[in-house]
Every structure is written in structure tokens, then in C-alpha cells.
Amino acid sequence: MPEKPWHSLPAEAVAEVQQTDLAGGLSPDEAARRLDEFGPNRLTLVKTQGPLLRFLLQFNQPLVLILLAATAVTAAVGEWIDAGVIFAVVLANAVIGFAQESKALQAIDALARAMTSTATVIRAGERKRIAAEGLVPGDVVVLQSGDKIPADLRLFGCRELRVDESALTGESLPVSKGDGPVEESTMLADRRGMAYSSTLVIHGAAKGLVVAVGDESEIGRINRMIAAAEVIDTPLTRKIKQFSSVLLYAILALAALTFAAGYLHGQRWVDLFLASVALAVSAIPEGLPAALTITLAIGVGRMARRNAIIRKLPAVETLGGTTVICSDKTGTLTQNEMTVTRLYAGGARYGLSGVGYAPEGRISPENGGPSAESNRALAELLTAGVLCNDARLEKTDGGLRVEGDPTEAALIASAGKLGLRKEEAERRFPRLDVIPFESARQYMATLHDQGAGRPKVLYVKGSIESICLECALGYGREGAPEVQDSLEVHRVVEEMASDGLRVLAFARKEMPAETTRIGPEDLAEGLEFIGLQGMIDPPRPEALAAIRDCQKAGILVKMITGDHAGTAAAIGRRLGLCSDACAMHTEEVLTGRELASLSDVEIIEAAEHTAVFARVTPEQKLRLVEALQRRHHVVAMTGDGVNDAPALKKADIGIAMGVNGTEVSKEAADMILTDDNFATIEAAVEEGRGVFDNLTKFITWTLPTNGGEGLALMAAIFFGLDLPVLPLHILWINMTTAVLLGLMLAFEPKEPGIMDRPPRKPKEPILTGPLAFRIILVSVLLMVGGFGLFKLEMSGGGNILLARTRAVNLFIFGEMFYLFNCRSLVRPLRELGFFSNRWFWGGILLMTLLQAAYTYLPVFNRVFGSHPMKVGDWAQVLGFSLLISLAVAAEKAVRFRFVRRKRLSLDGGR
């Protein structure tokens, strides 16, 4: 490596450092020696987890480990049926999880596939086509339009070279390249004399000196960042781990306490051990892992219908807890279709309606100016735009496809809004010659034939600096030359630029009829200024509405883009990223250069309070995600390029673009948008909140079953009585109710106002204080009912089989009646709609029929030791079950009124 970076050195100096010849390249022997020294031009692949390991990792969850321990204990004491049922639950959960995650992360493999397969090099003065893996530092590579660049190159001999670097830098438009060096501190996206591996040549030709290959290239550096990016647990995963740890310790403590209490009562230790096993089984929510997986899978299906494909199940819930969305600009927040929105011609200003490349929309005068049809200067401006133009718009089944520069495609569309068609204009005024665009000149010019006996016409388009300085006259509204007002033109340019528009100036010159060729000297004088066209990649209307909804829901939305700061800031203002709805954003825009100067502490503040980040590098995107996470945010990050992959992997939820995204970004992401639309992210957040609500409802519903069973067993042991339910009964209760009752909560529709509330706090537990109180209340009521009905039957010397059947039915129907309360954790049932969840009623019916079979069919009586019940028994079971539901309804009503009164008092105080 030289003392200075490659981009800051002339090509000749780079060749000297590399000890190569710019004209003849390396000799074959030297190339072979360097191949041995530097290795092949490919990325080092990191070994990934195999299918067997990924399947085994499905068991590496605290809750699942508890179930496996219960399986082992029940098998050790000879309860083979119980052990088999528990293990079947664990196995089913693992199979579901493995099936959903079978497409594991392969971002680095995708990067390797992105490397080109062949390249044209000059060795020993001869051109030859070789495998790209054979390139070495010092090779001279020949580039032409359509080539994918095979390694990092220091360019020389550029001829109108334009490169699409969007996948690497995020720059939405092709970048013009040149031979000259730039400052050492120049950011990656502005290094005009460099071309980087995996980017694409759009136009022109050049040669390049290989300066980095394989892992040492820019794409190799991103490869290392992807490999090093730590994949953090999702909020749900962390909360389930915490919940499982608490549950494990509680189970062990209760089992030990029960064993000790029974031993003090003089009971046999063998009986106590079996009772402790029963207590442990009762306390474990066997259906919870499967319910979590299935509920998340249902969420996956709902999101797929809204154009969001989930690659990893926990990502469903993570979306619901998102506090910050960091979004790319091009194609996600914007249309990804350059659109002319402002015109200036003949001293008049015009606005254009319509978005995209279709010639649909109107041209309307501003400030009472002349109509578009009456202004000949406007027609000439639009004609110049379609003639001084190399782009084409091709109709496809998916719409219009651009062939060429998107900026030129926008000029074709703007002309179409006045009825001018490119094909017709080219037939009337055929092109005779062209001066192609070059970054040094900043303009393009074409010569056209206007017909026999008429002078030729030269049209030129380019930057305002390159054209207006040469124009003393302007093309007037009536088509006659007039003195142009340069101050007025520059005022219009400044207005357009302040709105984030890219401004192109147009001029014309009539040439002698015999002219067939033009050169730069023909533009030195005599040009007539025609006008200006201002264009932008406009925001998606649905993105604007989605951002408002996110801000209303307490979610910060930030734009991170490779585009220039002015354009990014203008789009940010149009989208309302710095509006009053987002008081957190006190800074409008920061550039990558400014971010590079910030310390780790300073970047945390900048990430929190800045709305738009422009011209950022892959490392800076990663730093921004990490900075927000250090503020305890749940970060969703969107991206479509290779440069986005490290940040996508690091974010709590990585979101890739399905239409225009690279394979690298898709492999690194947790979710893929099939329509590349920000509004889909907002819809997915809404679905994620609904999924988390339903998960919370299930947990709030299922835990009282375990609590009630455990308390009933403890009461029996403390009083030295027979157990009211046996381990097999507990498994029957837990599994049947979880599948037929609890899972029906996964189909609950989203509650009204779900996007009107702020995100839940990342560190907030799954079960808040009020929900924990409700679980304890219902657990105690189930214990009183189950143990009470068992004791009532046994007190008169009753049948123990009937007593246990009464207890089992009390637990099941108590949970069934409590299920009505859990359809919403705060709202009364009448606000939800009695029949808004048809699955709910199907589950109620099936559970009732199954419990009738459990009670009356002889086969169930033999297997489970159940006993038929009489009408009086059912009256006691259903009556106490109704009492449980009424008690919870009363608790919800009191708490709802208290919360509403508190909210009204706070509003009144403000």
C-alpha cells in the first residue's frame, strides 16, 4: 500500500507503486507470481451452520429445555405416556421452527456470487479474456458498457464513463468517472477516479489498474463487516428467555417446598417425589412454545398478504416493538422514477402534474403566466429535451422500462405531457452529430437537420454553469431571440435547487445548412438560452401517509441515503421527517463527512436527533444502527445494496427490497418487501403489534391454568390429601386447551387504535403488573374451584374418579369462560364484536365435544380414569366457571375506568 490512498494519486503514480506498465500491463510470469502471493480474486467464505445443527438449535431455548427436563423426569419414574406427550410437543415445535428458518443467512455466499466471472486484461501488451479470479494487483483491465467491474480499479483513459454504484454507495444516478485524483479525505461515493468491484458500467469505456482484489477490495471489506456483525436476540427472544428463567426457578422452588412440606407431614418420599413431578408438570406451559411458533407463523401469513415476506419468525413480533425505522430513500420513500416537476421558458414558470415516466399529467402556468400551448419557448425547451437525449422508454408487461440514463427518461416524459413524442421528433429532426456528455465539460450537444433549405439546429443541455455563461440571448415566447435576464434565471435555479431539484439548462444555435459535424468550438458563442427543467425522484404519496402514521404511533423515521445532502434534505422536508410531529428531530441533515468526525459518544446524540443522513458509508450505517441500539431503541433498517448488508444484519429487524434489492441485502435481511414500498413497512409494524397483542393474550390466558393446577396440588399435599389431578390429567388439560382454545386467540383481529399508541418500551416485560395480578386472581379462583369441587365430592366418601373428573372439567371450562375475557386485555367483549373471530367459536365447540367424550366415552374412562358426571356436577362446574369470567370482567371494568379517569385528568392538566 502507498503512503496515500489510491484515489488521491495519479494513475501514473499508482502504476509506479504497483510496478506495472499502463500500456502493456504485467507479464504472464509476473501475474502468476502475484497470484501465488495475493491469492485468487474471490471472497473468503465463512463456514455456515449445517441443517443438522440448525435443527438441534431449535431445542436450545430455555422453555424447550424445561420441557425436555420434564420429559426425562417423567420417563425416569415410568410415566411413559406423559413423557411421550411432552416430547411430541417439543419435537413438533422444533420441526415448525426449522421449516420456517430453513433458508438461513447466506449473505457472504451471495457476495461471492456477485463477483464477475470473466474480465478483459492487457498482459504483455495483448488483450485477453480471463477468469476474474485470476486478476492480481497491477493488472490493467479494459472496461466497456455493460461490464460488471471485477476488482477495485484506479481508472485512466476514461471516455464518457458512467458507472452505476447504487449497490455499493446508494447513489441513485449513474456516476460520471474521470482520470484525475481527488483529496485523501474524499468519501467513497465521490472518488471519481476509482471503480469498485461489483458495480456496473452504464456508458462509455475506460481502462483501470487493479489496486485491490478479493478480501482487500471494498466489497471484501463489507464481507468482513457482515461476518463480524453480531446478530442480537430479538426483543421477544430476550423476554421469553427472562420469563423462562423465572419460571424455571419458580418450578424448582415450588417443587422443593412441596416435597419438604409433605415430608414434614410424614408422607413417603416416593409418593412425594411423584407429587413433586406432577407439580412440575402442572407448572410448565407445555403448549406455550408451539403456540408462540404458530402465532408467529400466522403473522407471517398476514404480512405476506400485505407484501412483506418474513424470513425469520421472531421478526414478526420485533416489528411490532420497533421504535426507530431507518429507511433508504430511492425507491422506498420515493418513486425511483425521476420526474420533471418544474419548467422555466420564455420568462415564465410552469408546474407539472403526474409522476413517473408515463406521459400522463398537465403543464400548468404559475403566477398567471401564459398557457403552455401559447409559449413557443416552452415547446422548444421540451423539443430540445427529447432530441438531445440518448435514452429510450420501452413498454413491458410491468410498465415502462428505461434504457439509458433516468434523467434523460424524465425529459421524454415531460415532453409527452405537451404531446411531443420522441420518435416523432427524431423523424422530423434527424440527428447528424453528437458531442457526448463528459464530466469535464458538463454538457451534451446534438446537431439536427430541420429540412431542405433550412439551417441546421444545435441543441445543448447541461449544468447551468456550462451553458448560461455562453448565452447572451434567450429564446423568447414568440420564438424570436431576446436579451436574457441572467439574474432572473439564477434566481429560478436557486429556487429549484432549494427544493431538491436537479436542474438542467438548455440552449440552441442555428448552424449553416451545410454543417454536418460539430465540436466544442461551436458552443463558444452564439447560443440562445431556451430554459430550465427541474426534476426529482418524488416521494411516494403512500410513504408520506405512512410516515405520519408512524410518527403518530411514536416511531421515529430517519432517512439514510447515499444521495447528496441537498436532495436528501428536500425529500426529508417533503416527507415531514422534520415536522412538528417529530419534535425529537432537532437536526435536519448530517453528511458522511460530518459523521466521520464524531466520537462514539457524539454519534449517539447525532443518531437520536438527526432526521436525514446523506452520503454515508457502509461503516457509518452500521455505526448509526449501533448508536441507536445503545439508546435502547428497537431499530428497523431498510436497504437494497451490498453496502446495506452489514447494517441490515446488525439491526433488530433488517428489511430488504424485493424488486430492486441485491441478493446480498436479501440474504442479510429478516424481512423482504415485495413492492419496495415504505407504506408496507408501516403495515408490517401494524401487523407486528397485532401479533404481540395476541401473544400477550395467549400467555395471560394460559398461565392461570398452570398456576391453578399447581396451587391445587400444593393444597392437597399440604393437607395430606389425594391429588385432585394426576400428571396425565394435567397434560390433557394443558395440551387440549392450548390447541383448541388458546390458539384461537392468534386469529383475533387487530384492535382499533393499535397505531395510535406509542411503542412498548424495549425493556418492559411481557407481563405488566396489571396482567400479573389478573393471572394470580384467575389462578387462585381455578385452585379454589378445582380443589373445592374435588374436596366436596370426597368429603362424603365419594368416588375419587368422579372427583378428579369434576376437577379436570372445572379447569377446562374455567379456562373456556376466561377465554372470553382474554379476547381483549382492556376492552369489554361488546366492543370487539361477538362473532368477529369465527375460529374462536369453532374452538369452543370442539373443546366442548372433546370434553364430553373425555367424560362419557368408555375408552377415555379407561385411559384417563375419568367418570361420567350428572347434571348437578355440571351445574357446579359451569356455575363456578361463569363466576371466574364475571370476576375478571369486573376487574377489567374497574381498571379501565381508573385508566380513563387518569388520562382525562392528565389531559385537563395540560
Question: Which of 711, 908, 714, 665 minimizes the C-alpha distance to 811?
Answer: 711
Question: Which of 767, 690, 703, 753 minimizes the C-alpha distance to 317?
Answer: 690
Catalytic residue selected from 82, 164, 328, 873: 328
Report the amino acid identity of residue 100.
Answer: Q
Q: Which three cell numbers stand for residue 653?
A: 429487524
Report the amino acid identity of residue 150.
Answer: P
Q: Read off the DSSP letter of residue 703.
A: H
Distance, CA of 17 to CA of 12 (rounded, Å): 9
Report the amino acid identity of residue 610.
Answer: T
Question: Which of 882, 700, 698, 883 minimizes the C-alpha distance to 774?
Answer: 700
Distance, CA of 338 to CA of 567 (rounded, Å): 12
Distance, CA of 532 to CA of 504 (rounded, Å): 6
Distance, CA of 420 to CA of 232 (rounded, Å): 55
Distance, CA of 193 to CA of 775 (rounded, Å): 67
φ and ψ at residue 452, rounded to 5 degrees? -60, 135
- The per-residue DSSP string of 135-150 comes to --TT-EEEEETTPBP-
- Which residue shows C-alpha cell 413498454? 395
What percent helix, strand, coil does the chain show, rounded to 5? 50, 20, 30
- Which residue shows C-alpha cell 423462562? 244
φ and ψ at residue 136, rounded to 5 degrees? -135, 155
Pairing of strands 399-403, 431-438: unpaired
Distance, CA of 351 to CA of 535 (rounded, Å): 11
Q: Give bridge partners of residue 4 from the DSSP assignment.
A: none
Q: Which three cell numbers stand for residue 281?
A: 408438570
Pairing of strands 126-131, 118-123: antiparallel
Q: CB of 291 within 8 A of CB of 67?
A: no
Determine whether 858 is exposed, middle or buried from the number of CB atoms within 10 Å of its CB (0-12, 13-18, 19+). Answer: exposed
The stretches of 835-870 forming alpha helices (DSSP H) are: 838-856, 858-864
Distance, CA of 39 to CA of 45 (rounded, Å): 14
Determine whether 516 is exposed, middle or buried from the number of CB atoms within 10 Å of its CB (0-12, 13-18, 19+). Answer: exposed
Question: Which of 409, 317, 212 minimizes the C-alpha distance to 694?
Answer: 317
Question: Taking phi first (over 0 means left), then psi (-120 to 50 degrees means alpha), and beta for anything else, what does residue 155 get?
Answer: beta
Angle between helices 218-228 and 618-630 (to 10 degrees): 20
Please report, for the chain, how many H helices and E strands are present, in that order: 31, 27
Q: Read off the DSSP letter of residue 199.
A: -
Kindly report the three-state secondary structure assignment for every residue of 236-262: HHHHHHHHHHHHHHHHHHHHHHHHHHH
Q: Give bridge partners of residue 141 from the DSSP assignment.
A: 121, 208
- Which residue shows C-alpha cell 391445587? 712
Q: Read off the DSSP letter of residue 539.
A: B
Q: Give bridge partners of residue 528 from the DSSP assignment.
A: 473, 508
Is 485 an annotated catalytic residue? Answer: no
Question: Which of 693, 641, 681, 682 minimizes the C-alpha distance to 663?
Answer: 641
Active-site amino acid positions: 328
